[in-house]
Amino acid sequence: MSASDPRVPGGSRIAKRALVALFGAGFATFAQLYAPQGVLTELAHEFRSDPGAVSWVIGAATLGVAVGVVPWARVSDRIGRVVAMRWSVLLALAIGLLVPLMPTLPALIAVRFLEGLALAGLPALAVTALAEIVTPAALGAAVGSYVAGTTIGGLAGRVVSGLVGDACGWGWGVAAVALCSVASAALFLALIPATRIPPGPALPLGRAFLANLRNPGVRVLIAQGFLLMGGFVAVYNVLGFRLQESPFGLSTAQVSWLFLAYLAGAVASRQVWAVVARVHRGRNRGPLAGIESPVRVQLGCIALMLLGLALMLLPWLPAVILGLVLFTGAFFGAHTVASGLIGRRADAGRSLAPSLYNLGYYIGSALLGGLGGLVFAHWGWGGTVALIAAAAVAAGAAAIGYARNARG
């Protein structure tokens, strides 16, 4: 860092304040985004629909996020990152309070799409805002802390909606999460500091798109976001239906407790860059010799995801729980590494690269997450697992192919 760099080190008061604020925003955003996942079986019963149809309650919102990330990024170039994130959080809260009032499944899906558009401001801007507040040396750990906050929000949204929804109906479950999100959003609004450096000059949108899509390192990360997030959402969309069937026979409330596996994601996202540092200091041998340490750690995470999937095929609840914990922690480790790499690999159009990663990430969530429900309806849990495993293998193969061509 140069002496003239106004950004703050990771342990400073301003950096800590930024992380607490973004934790609150991440909690509010991701609790709202995934709250209906805890009551999908209740929604299927209420609207007399199959898993593939009701999974679009999640898919519509994540598709809205995918559509919204680039516009929010461009708006923030004009009005500032923090102002744009504040508008995003407030709009999302207002729309989220309407979700429990929707009388039909199509109306619910439409409002969820609008909610996703509003929510997109946070994932579009959080990493960029952090990069304009903390020094480059502190950014990896800061991103890990932010991802941990989004993980806790996603967990809380699913568990609270599932428990309240099982007792009082899906509408009350989603409403309870919206009210929790109001408190978390207030924390963000009160604490978020101003960015320390102004947004750099932005390339015209078309040129920025092309500059990033011509960059093979950025293309690989966008594809990984699509494949890994799509498989992850497919697991959580479908597993509740699987566990309410024979031989498990769990209730909605019992299934909601399985979302505690998200705690493994919170730990993994905080610790994965420390693992990268240890791998970097170690000996670079074996079949992955010559590949940079973040990619080697990410490939290890993908291998653990596949192991978790294999365990979830077993008709024994403890094996399913262990598999879900492994799969969840490994996914968030891989995602945190990709989030940290996207800025390093981008060149021209750098400010747009995180938004393009999020675009792939949330399109994968919507499309592969929805496809997982359709596959389950026709070919059962084994078919869904095969789909997710194929996506994970493709993500790993893309990483290896890029690393070999880029000489590490």
Q: What is the pLDDT of residue 395?
A: 97
Token pair of 146 as six digits: 């932010």
- pLDDT tens track for 82-127: 899 899 988 998 999 899 999 999 999 999 999 999 999 988 888 7
Per DSSP, what are the bridge partners of residue 349?
A: 347
Q: How far apart are CA 144 and CA 102, in angstroms?
A: 36
Query: Are the C-beta atoms of 124 and 354 separated by less than 8 Å?
Result: yes
The DSSP bridge partners found for residue 347 are 349
Rounded Cα distance between 111 and 241, Å, is 24
Q: Which tens digits make up the pLDDT trace of 347-376?
A: 777 767 888 898 898 889 888 988 998 999
**Span 123-179, pLDDT tens digits:** 888 878 888 888 877 777 777 777 777 888 888 898 899 889 988 899 999 999 988
Kindly give, in sequence order, each residue whose CB lies less than 8 Å from that of residue 375, ignoring residues fewer than 6 positions away: 383, 384, 387
pLDDT at residue number 405: 85
pLDDT at 203: 67
Query: Which residue type is seen at 170?
Result: W
Q: Which of 140-144, 221-225, 308-312, 324-328 has the lowest mean pLDDT?
A: 140-144
Neighbours of 196 (CB within 10 A): 17
Per-residue confidence (pLDDT) for residue 390, from 0 to 100: 98
- What tokens were used for 223? 């594809």
User: pLDDT digits over 187-229, tens only?
Assistant: 888 888 888 887 766 667 788 888 888 899 999 999 999 999 9
At 18, is the pLDDT very low, low, confident or very high (cuts 50, 70, 90)?
Answer: confident
Backbone phi and psi for residue 134, each to the nearest 5 degrees, phi listed first = -105, 160
| pLDDT category of residue 338 using cuts at 50, 70 and 90 | very high
Q: What is the pLDDT of residues 272-301, one digit of tens each?
A: 988 988 887 776 666 666 688 899 999 999
pLDDT reported for residue 378: 92
- Can you tell me the distance from the alpha carbon of 31 to that of 236, in angstroms, rounded to the nearest whole number? 14
Integer distance in angstroms from the first to the last C-alpha of the chain?
25
The per-residue pLDDT for 285 is 65
* Spatial separation of the C-alpha atoms in residues 190 and 291, rounded to whole Å: 43
Q: Per residue in 304-334, is it b (16+ CB within 10 Å) or e — as a string?
A: bbbebbebbeeeeeeebbbbbbbbbbbbbbb
Whether residue 387 has pLDDT greater than 80: yes
Q: Which of 260-269, 270-279, 380-389 has the highest mean pLDDT?
A: 380-389
Given a cut of 70, whether residue 182 has pLDDT beyond it is: yes
Please tell me the predicted confidence (pLDDT) of residue 117.
Answer: 95
pLDDT at residue number 123:
82
What percentage of the chain reaches a pLDDT higher than 70?
Answer: 95
**Is the bond preceding 247 in cis, omega lying within 30 degrees of 0?**
yes
CA distance to 8, 119, 151, 222, 280, per residue, from 191 (Å)? 16, 19, 20, 31, 35
Residue 2: predicted pLDDT = 55
pTM of the complete model: 0.81
Q: 25 near 155, Cβ under 8 Å? A: no
The pLDDT value given to residue 284: 65
Q: Which residue in 233, 223, 397, 218 sits closest to 331, CA to CA? A: 233
| 80-84, 387-391, 395-399: least confident range | 80-84
Nearest to 113 by CA among 72, 56, 157: 56
Residue 26: name the closest of 156, 173, 137 by CA. Answer: 156
| More confident position, 322 or 405 | 322
